[in-house]
Amino acid sequence: FFSQIYVFKAKDQAMKLAILSTLLAGAAAFAPVSPAARGSVQLSETKADLEALATTLNPLVKFYDPLNLAEAEFWGASNEATIGFLRHAEI
């Protein structure tokens, strides 16, 4: 009889531990996170920057822009903003 009570208590403690760990894991999803330190980021690029980058990345083809997108200005934004948008879109 006492061995059955001990097994029941052990199962009860295991169940309580499983519930507690589930609750703690769920609460960790809503804990605030400190922002990560970021390095410096170049925010604007010009056509000359693209040409220099293309030459270093692929010396055989170099700069190739058949649609002339490096000189475009989308949505009334500057040329640098358009290049930034296109670079972001290709990621």
pLDDT for the residue 6: 53
- What does pLDDT average to in each consecutive run of 10 residues of the chain (91 residues)? 56 81 74 68 77 91 91 89 87 64
State residue 91's pLDDT score: 64
Cβ neighbours around 83 below 10 Å, total: 23
Round to whole Å and give the CA distance between 32 and 21.
19
List the alpha helices (DSSP H) in 1-91.
Answer: 2-28, 47-57, 79-89
For helices 47-57 and 79-89, what crossing angle results, to 10°?
40
pLDDT of residue 35: 73
Per-residue confidence (pLDDT) for residue 3, from 0 to 100: 54
As a whole number of angstroms, the distance between CA 18 and CA 14 comes to 6
Per-residue pLDDT at 24: 74
For the chain, state the CA radius of gyration: 29
Residue whose structure tokens are 């490096």:
70
| pLDDT at position 8 | 58
The pLDDT assigned to 15 comes to 80
